[in-house]
Amino acid sequence: MSLEKVITSVISLGITLTTPLAIAGIGEVISERSGVINLGIDGIMLLGAFLGFHASLVTGNIYIGYLAGLAVGLLMGLILAVFSVSLKLNQAITGMGLYFLGFGLSDFFYRTIYGEREVYLSAPSPISIPIISNIPVVGPSLFQQLDLVYFSYILVIVAWLLIERTRIGLWIRSVGENPKAADAMGINVSLIQYIAVLTGSSLAGLAGAFLSIGITQVFYENLTYGIGFIAIGLVYFGKWSPLRTYLGALIFGLSWSTAISTQSYFNAIGRADLVYFLLAIPYIIITIALVIVSRQARGPKWLGKPYLRE
């Protein structure tokens, strides 16, 4: 295989692996900008991954699977919003409870329905964008991709415009920074937080569905391997900006792709032991990046704090 094809393959896989992280991370940006942190993202992704997988397998339609992921994210987000926004309970504890709920239910449903059987979906076909997909390296990597990869391109731009350039974005930022002042201006704080949390959770469910439908074509216990928590970390890395959060997801995705792509080489030379180290590299890189960036990161002032109206 030529060097150009190797590079194209690594970048293409990296972009694909970036997608679930980016979608979940951008959803978390929206939620946190309103002052609500969702530590249950990984559980939402797991349940979204199973139900998306199951719905796609039963109906033979991947888009119904994606809708199932969105629906479970919406439902889990509603649970989080009720406990965190309406009942004013501790957001960290509520989020972790949501994580364990998603983790347990996804495995329970899978074992109940499929038992020990190994069931696979057909791999979805990539969509090529005419003309620009023929550009060497860049074209095949970016524009011969799965549908939700293109959705992530659009999502990052729309989310940035929404938060930074629209009235509802101003309301979201105001609620996250100073809900008392926002309330005094006539903004319905609880409604804005509900909208933000439900949007973020729905995107997490969609990200999970893409993980099982678009990437693995199979579901198994703990399919996410904790990337929901990585998505939360990427929000801090991105300083609560959709654009920078996508950049962080891209760094992780390309590192992950490089590690996966070099496994066969180390297996061939008899150094299979290095494969596990390679798979740890993306996590090491993002951890180092978080340590460097976190010293300068300043989140919304009201992040994680319940708003009690006086």
Query: Do residues 76 and 205 lie in contact, with contact meaning Cβ atoms separated by under 8 Å?
Result: yes
What pLDDT score was predicted for residue 260? 81
What pLDDT score was predicted for residue 143? 94
Other C-beta atoms within 10 Å of 187: how many? 16
pLDDT at 294 over 80: no
CA dist., res. 198 & res. 76, Å (int): 8
Q: Where are the alpha helices (H) located in the chain, listed in sequence order?
A: 3-33, 41-59, 62-81, 91-114, 138-143, 147-165, 167-177, 179-184, 189-210, 227-237, 242-261, 263-268, 273-294
Closest CA to 8 of 143, 149, 147, 156: 143
Query: Do residues 236 and 299 lie in contact, with contact meaning Cβ atoms separated by under 8 Å?
Result: yes
| Residue 284 banded pLDDT, cuts 50, 70, 90 | confident
The Cα-based distances of 162 to 15, 52, 81, 157, 170 in angstroms read 24, 27, 21, 8, 9
- The mean-pLDDT minimum among 144-158, 209-223, 292-306 falls in 292-306
pLDDT at 267 over 80: no
Tokens 């199973």 correspond to 50
What pLDDT score was predicted for residue 145? 96
Where do the domains of the chain lie, and which CATH numbers do they carry? 3-122+149-294 (1.10.3470)
pLDDT at 246 over 80: yes
Q: What is the average per-residue pLDDT within 204-212? A: 97
Closest CA to 197 of 275, 82, 279: 82
Q: Write out the DSSP string of 211-256.
A: IIIIIISS--TTTTTTHHHHHHHHHHHTTT-HHHHHHHHHHHHHHH
Q: What are phi and psi of 128, to 5 degrees?
A: -95, 135
- How much of the chain exceeds pLDDT 90, in percent? 72
For residues 160, 161, 163 and 165, what is the CA-based torsion angle, rounded to 10 degrees? 140
- The mean-pLDDT minimum among 61-70, 203-212, 272-281, 297-306 falls in 272-281
Mean pLDDT over the full length of the chain: 91
pLDDT tens string 65-115: 999 999 999 999 999 999 999 999 999 999 999 999 999 999 999 999 998
CB neighbour list of residue 159: distance below 8 Å, 6 or more residues apart: 26, 29, 30, 242
What pLDDT score was predicted for residue 116? 81
